[in-house]
Amino acid sequence: MLGYGQPLIRSKLALNVNNPLRQRIVVKHMMSNMQKDELGGYLKTRLAFGGTHEELFTAPSMEAIYGVTNGVPRLVNSLATNCLLYACEKKQRQVDEETVYQAQSELNF
């Protein structure tokens, strides 16, 4: 399954009125969904870029994130960010499964 917005963008770019824009796009890349076993490493890498090496996401929370997002990177990023904000607001040291569902409800996925 490919990311949600890509087919819509491609069809809009295919319109003749968008020829000038389409001609200026030099690199085209279709990013596929990540596999379930890639999610933990992906989240750890993003957290490391943010400056932490702590295990902030529990295994059940990663299962829940994957279940909600189906591995779509854009959705994973949005949900993980909201999870961290929600956990911080609740003064939690880790993101648990309940935090994921609370963060998801705020995003209306």
- pLDDT tens-digit series, residues 48-91: 999 999 999 999 999 999 999 999 999 999 999 999 999 999 99
- Domain residue ranges of the chain, discontinuous segments joined by +: 1-32, 33-107
Query: Could you give the CA distance from residue 39 to residue 90 in angstroms, rounded to a whole number?
Result: 24
Task: State how far the Cα of 45 lies from the Cα of 43, in Å rounded to an integer.
Answer: 5
CB 56 within 8 A of CB 84: yes
Cα–Cα distances (Å) from 26 to 9, 22, 29, in that order, read 15, 9, 10
Angle CA 61–65–68, to nearest 5: 135
Any idea which fold 33-107 has?
Answer: Helicase, Ruva Protein; domain 3 (1.10.8)
Arithmetic mean of pLDDT, 2-8: 58
Average pLDDT over residues 39-43: 97
pLDDT band for position 5 (50/70/90)?
A: low
Q: What is the pLDDT of residues 24-38, one digit of tens each?
A: 988 877 778 999 999
